[in-house]
Amino acid sequence: MPATLIVGTQWGDEGKAKVIDYLAKETDIVVRYQGGANAGHTVKVGNDKYIFRLIPSGILYPRTICVLGGGMVIDPDALFDEINEIESKGIEARGRLRIADNAHLLMPYHKEIDIRSEEASGAYKIGTTKRGIGACYSDKVNRHGIRVGMLYSDAFYTDILPRLIEEKNKILEKVYSAPPVVFTDLKEKLLALREKIRDMVVNTPYYLNMELASGKRVLLEGAQGTMLDLDFGTYPYVTSSNPTTGGALSGSGISFRYLKSVIGITKAYSTRVGEGPYPTECHGEEGEVLRKAGNEFGSVTGRPRRCGWFDTEVVRHAARINGLSALALTKLDVLDTFKTIKVATGYELDGKRIDYFPSCRVPQLQVIYEEFAGWQEPTSHITKWKALPKNARKYVEAVSRFCGVPVAWVSVGPDRENTIALH
Ligand code: GDP
Ligand code: IMO
Ligand code: MG
């Protein structure tokens, strides 16, 4: 059975969770492969709304197994808050969660460093979610991290942890004038954690490839989006992991041979949270209207999202990097009231047309727009492609043509039912 990958094509919050929830009905296992509690993945079912941070968005289906992959940075406090919240709503989660033994643990000191480093950066801050993500991935890359599997080795507590804490305390105290980590407190916390998660820990390359070989259907859930990718996004205003296809493989351990379909989730306009260049951002009234119509406020931090027009160069960039086989175009209904809708069709740099998203000098781009007539009627109740207003269909077809990827689903509202399958 092949695996399907869901990846964000813009700056995150494209509606990935809504599409994952829609597709998870036909899935046995959902795997989050990167990021941490910086993600806010919203699923709406009837009157209930769930915002997942670490737990994969397939958890609402009672038989689905949900895996926290090895590419993730897991804050145990955030994880258990989330488990308790879900279970308080009558959804059993613990028995269906699996945690990769090579995932990294995000500790309170990572959050402390993230917050203080942002404060110290002044005008150069990234605008992070303050969840400790960059600090935890830095430790991973620097080989000072704590893997889940390390909790089960006694030598970790005697040989490794004291050295890690000693080094961390130098940074906390000398660079940030922050309180030090108390070794015995952290050791106790980790010893308690290892018992709480003992039955969930798996070796994901073994487990997932075996399940795929036996015919199980796997959905890979990306967090953030291509433009926040550490390597392909608007560096340094990015997250510290790879949400793109390469990250899905390294963050889950499944063989590339199983990956048959990559679905790009893309909003019918665009948004971004935090700092960093954003070529099609609308600063005035239009931005306000989009923010209000799309209810564009961060699901984790509540921060107002920056809003702007659809940028086809961004999605072409995402199509190239990820090898997109189809697009799911979300939040089309948010454009229902607009008389005209702008779409960025390309860029100029130094007065010359360029056919790619540059890796640097993004603020110097000149954006070329095309205008489309709006449809000015509600679409949220519509469930069939043919029933969409003609101008809405024209808009979707133009998006598909410009991006060079077929649109397979159109989403016209936050609920599972507000989804139109095109084929
Ligand atoms: P994610 O991080 O990509 O999963 O997206 P978020 O959950 O952060 O943000 C998407 C928001 O849009 C959530 O509040 C969803 O409930 C909502 N949403 C998703 N699809 C649609 C849609 O088609 N129309 C509208 N109006 N809202 C949607
Ligand atoms: P989902 O999965 C939107 C942004 C932050 C900041 C940058 C770095 O819900 O789409 P970090 O805390 O990761 O070090 O912050 O990345 N960011 C997101 N923006 N959606 C997200 O996740 C995001 N996760 C991180 O706002 O600009
Ligand atoms: Mg989100």
**Are residues 316 and 404 in contact, defined by beta-carbon separation less than 8 angstroms?**
yes
Atom of ligand 2 at shortest distance to CA of 41?
A: 9
Q: What is the pLDDT of residue 303?
A: 86
Using one digit for the tens of pLDDT, what is the confidence trace for 298-340?
887 788 999 999 999 999 999 999 999 999 999 999 999 999 9
Average model confidence (pLDDT) for the chain?
Answer: 97
Q: Given the DSSP bridges, would you call strands 48-52 and 97-100 parallel, antiparallel or unpaired?
A: unpaired
Kindly report the protein residue whose alpha carbon is nearest to atom 17 of ligand 1: 414
What is the rounded distance in angstroms from the CA atom of residue 387 to the CA atom of residue 370?
A: 25
Q: What is the pLDDT of residue 299?
A: 80
CA dihedral 126, 130, 136, 139 (to 10 degrees): 50
Kindly report the protein residue whose alpha carbon is nearest to atom 1 of ligand 1: 13
Task: Please give the average per-residue pLDDT across 191-213, as a whole number.
Answer: 98
Q: Which residue is catalytic, options 21, 41, 75, 311?
A: 41
Task: Please give the average per-residue pLDDT across 85-89, as a whole number.
Answer: 95
Kindly report the protein residue whose alpha carbon is nearest to atom 6 of ligand 1: 13
State the helix-helix crossing angle for 108-121 and 133-141, rounded to 10 degrees: 110
Helix (H, G, I), strand (E, B) or coil at 262: strand
pLDDT over 70 at 350, yes or no: yes
pLDDT over 90 at 49, yes or no: yes
Distance between Cα 13 and ligand 3 center (Å): 4
Using one digit for the tens of pLDDT, what is the confidence trace for 3-33?
999 999 999 999 999 999 999 999 999 999 9
Q: What is the pLDDT of residue 394?
A: 98
Task: Please give the average per-residue pLDDT across 212-218, as a whole number.
Answer: 97
Distance between Cα 339 and ligand 2 center (Å): 31
Task: Please give the average per-residue pLDDT across 226-254, as a whole number.
Answer: 98
Contacts of 262 (CB under 8 A, 6+ apart): 4, 5, 7, 245, 322, 323, 324, 325
CA dihedral 404, 411, 268, 308 (to 10 degrees): -150
What is the rounded distance in angstroms from the CA atom of residue 43 to the CA atom of residue 61?
A: 12
Q: What is the pLDDT of residue 1?
A: 67
H or E stretch covering 45: strand 41-45
Domains and their CATH numbers in the chain: 3-94+203-421 (3.90.170.10), 104-199 (1.10.300.10)
Structure tokens at 66: 């949900």
Instruction: Tell me whether residue 298 is exposed, middle or buried, using C-beta atoms within 10 angstroms of its C-beta: 0 to 12, 13 to 18, 19 or more.
Output: middle
Structure tokens at 413: 């509202």
Q: What is the pLDDT of residue 136?
A: 98
Cβ density class 220-246: b for 16+ within 10 Å, e for less: bbbbbbbbbbbebbbeebbbbbbbbbe
What is the rounded distance in angstroms from the CA atom of residue 70 to the CA atom of residue 32?
A: 9
**Are residues 112 and 178 in contact, defined by beta-carbon separation less than 8 angstroms?**
yes
Helix (H, G, I), strand (E, B) or coil at 273: coil
Using one digit for the tens of pLDDT, what is the confidence trace for 149-186?
999 999 999 999 999 999 999 999 999 999 999 999 99
Q: What is the pLDDT of residue 301?
A: 77
What is the rounded distance in angstroms from the CA atom of residue 248 to the CA atom of residue 244?
A: 6
Q: What is the pLDDT of residue 326?
A: 98
Active site residue 333: no
Beta strands in 101-222 (DSSP E): 104-105, 201-202, 218-221
Helix (H, G, I), strand (E, B) or coil at 349: strand
**Are residues 17 and 52 in contact, defined by beta-carbon separation less than 8 angstroms?**
yes
Active site residue 159: no
Please provide residue 366's backbone torsions phi and psi, each rounded to the nearest 5 degrees. -100, 130
Distance between Cα 188 and ligand 3 center (Å): 33
Nearest alpha carbon to residue 328 among 276, 246, 396: 396
Whole-structure pTM value: 0.97
Using one digit for the tens of pLDDT, what is the confidence trace for 364-405?
999 999 999 999 999 999 999 999 999 999 999 999 999 999
Using one digit for the tens of pLDDT, what is the confidence trace for 89-148?
999 999 999 999 999 999 999 999 999 999 999 999 999 999 999 999 999 999 999 999
Place of tokens 């050791």: 187
Task: Please give the average per-residue pLDDT across 182-193, as a whole number.
Answer: 97
